[in-house]
């Protein structure tokens, strides 16, 4: 767990005009500690290799934040793959974030849909951070006021927008009979109103609150970030995400989130990194996930966003995508049906790809008569440098067999011969000659039978 750190000094009761200091943030999300797809037991640690992959990437993310000397670390939801992480998964998450707490870098944790149980009343998997002293701030529901965080470069105004917890809404009598569509519309209207109210409070220089509960005046001249775990209309999904699931969720337009004076909208939930407001300001950005889960993500970049907010620049906010050391996925697909040596054809395709330390899947297609020509052992040897071989899958085209037609006693001689020839391609050019010879033989036999003497 995090060591108990002394709380930050109280902020001044009001803010001066915006400082010219650049505020730097690291924005990440969707770690999903605990998924095991294409993993195996690591013999050295006893842990699933995909858990180790996520730990390596998260450690790299934290180190990048330290190297950049960021003012705050924004984690926008889905720390774990399920709402009931194991103690090992919780320990990995905490130990990875420990260097940030030791460096007095404020950490913002936004609860995502995978972090929160479906059942009303149960704690989320991130709620434990509420009981840890220091600059670690967890948000499981929208805050009643704009949050004001103290950073080394000055104050940062935060509007937290965690995943909407439907069970909490449905637990109230007046909402219990809502249909799914009514509930979705209610959440959308509630969240839009919430963002508008918090933005108006800043524009009108009303009062915000620090994590310690101290009231402070707000200002549109102070860097402001909305950090959320929600779906934006039109977001491009990652290969591992299900369109049908996203389709039923509350959705928001860019304009509903990119409200003045917000300088940056930091989002989690969608695993493909993207800025949904490339032509406008502020950036509305999904940082994306830090690790690949399936082969559908083989060609997708994985990483985090480094963000700097500079009031002296136009536009004020710049973002930089930083790749993580995500485990590569390599999918090899080979059609060897026309190959004289199908094994060599598959090996050549493998050699064209960099399979070192990758999770690799090989799919090849051959004809039925080529199956025995493929040497599986040589294929496995060619994949020795891979981290994991997810599978060597074969598709076989069956031999083209003609359906055999039964020749019965009722069949005439000509019909029987033609059926026989039709089942033997090598006789196709002799059909008429064979029919003529057979009929001639039949005629002779009948003549012999009619004149036995």
pLDDT at position 13 = 40
The burial of 264, by beta-carbon neighbours within 10 Å (0-12 exposed, 13-18 middle, 19 or more buried), is given as: buried
Judged by DSSP in three states, 26 sits in strand
pLDDT at position 380 = 96
Paired sense of beta strands 72-75 and 107-110, if any: parallel
pLDDT digits (tens, 9 = 90+) for 328-373: 999 999 999 999 999 999 999 999 999 999 999 999 999 999 999 9
pLDDT at position 420 = 78
pLDDT at position 246 = 66
- Dihedral sign of CA atoms 333, 57, 132, 161 in order: negative
CA 420 to chain centre: 59
Residues 434-447 as b/e (b if ≥16 CB within 10 A, e otherwise) read ebeebeeeeeeeee
Collect the ranges in the chain with pLDDT lower than 50: 1-20, 118-123, 131, 133
Contact indicator for 280, 229 with CB cutoff of 8 Å: no
Q: What are phi and psi of 81, to 5 degrees?
A: -80, -25
pLDDT at position 168 = 61
Q: Give the bridge partners for 249, in sequence order.
A: none
Q: What are phi and psi of 102, to 5 degrees?
A: -65, -30
pLDDT at position 434 = 79
Interatomic CA distance for residues 238 and 270, integer angstroms = 7
Q: What are phi and psi of 127, to 5 degrees?
A: -65, -25
pLDDT at position 18 = 41
The burial of 145, by beta-carbon neighbours within 10 Å (0-12 exposed, 13-18 middle, 19 or more buried), is given as: middle
pLDDT at position 247 = 67
CA 120 to chain centre: 27
Q: Which of 138, 128, 198 is nearest to 163 (CA)?
A: 138
pTM over 0.85: no
Cis peptide before 315 (omega within 30 of 0): yes
Tokens 């995978």 belong to residue:
114
* C-alpha dist (Å) from residue 213 to 94, 207, 414: 25, 12, 101
Q: What are phi and psi of 222, to 5 degrees?
A: -100, 135
pLDDT at position 445 = 72
């Amino acid at each position: 767990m995090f060591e108990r750190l002394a709380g930050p000094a109280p902020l001044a009761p009001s803010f001066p005009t915006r400082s010219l200091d650049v505020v730097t943030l690291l924005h990440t999300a969707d770690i999903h500690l605990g998924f095991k797809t294409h993993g195996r037991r690591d013999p050295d640690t006893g842990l699933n290799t995909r858990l180790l992959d996520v730990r390596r990437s998260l450690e790299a993310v934290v180190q990048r934040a330290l190297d950049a000397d960021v003012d705050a670390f924004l984690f926008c939801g889905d720390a774990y793959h399920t709402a009931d992480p194991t103690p090992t998964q919780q320990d990995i998450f905490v130990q990875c974030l420990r260097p940030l707490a030791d460096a007095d870098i404020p950490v913002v944790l936004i609860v995502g849909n995978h972090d929160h149980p479906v059942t009303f009343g149960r704690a989320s998997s991130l709620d434990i951070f509420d009981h840890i002293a220091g600059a670690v701030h967890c948000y499981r529901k929208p805050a009643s006021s704009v949050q004001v965080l103290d950073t080394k470069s000055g104050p940062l105004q935060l509007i937290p927008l965690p995943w909407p917890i439907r069970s909490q809404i449905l637990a109230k009598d007046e909402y219990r009979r809502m249909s799914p569509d009514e509930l979705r519309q209610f959440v959308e209207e509630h969240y839009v109103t919430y963002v508008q109210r918090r933005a108006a409070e800043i524009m009108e220089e009303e009062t915000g609150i620090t994590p310690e509960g101290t009231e402070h005046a707000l200002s549109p001249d102070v860097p402001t970030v909305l950090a959320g775990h929600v779906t934006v209309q039109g977001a491009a999904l990652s290969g591992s995400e299900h369109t049908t699931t996203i389709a039923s969720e509350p959705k928001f337009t860019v304009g509903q989130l990119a409200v003045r004076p917000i300088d940056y909208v930091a989002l989690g939930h969608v695993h493909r990194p993207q800025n949904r407001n490339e032509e406008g300001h502020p950036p509305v950005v999904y940082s994306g996930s830090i690790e690949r889960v399936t082969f559908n993500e083989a060609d997708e970049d994985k990483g985090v966003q480094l963000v700097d907010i500079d009031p002296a620049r136009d536009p004020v906010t710049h973002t930089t995508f930083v790749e993580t050391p995500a485990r590569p996925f390599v999918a090899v697909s080979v059609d060897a049906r026309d190959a004289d040596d199908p094994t060599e054809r598959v090996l050549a395709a493998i050699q064209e790809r960099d399979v070192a330390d990758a999770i690799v899947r090989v799919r090849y297609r051959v004809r039925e008569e080529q199956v025995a020509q493929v040497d599986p052992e040589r294929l496995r040897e060619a994949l020795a440098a891979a981290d994991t071989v997810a599978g060597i899958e074969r598709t076989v085209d069956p031999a083209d067999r003609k359906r055999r037609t039964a020749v019965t006693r009722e069949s005439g001689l000509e019909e029987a011969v033609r059926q026989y020839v039709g089942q033997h391609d090598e006789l196709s050019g002799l059909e008429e000659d064979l029919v003529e010879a057979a009929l001639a033989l039949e005629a002779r036999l009948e003549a012999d039978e009619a004149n036995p003497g």
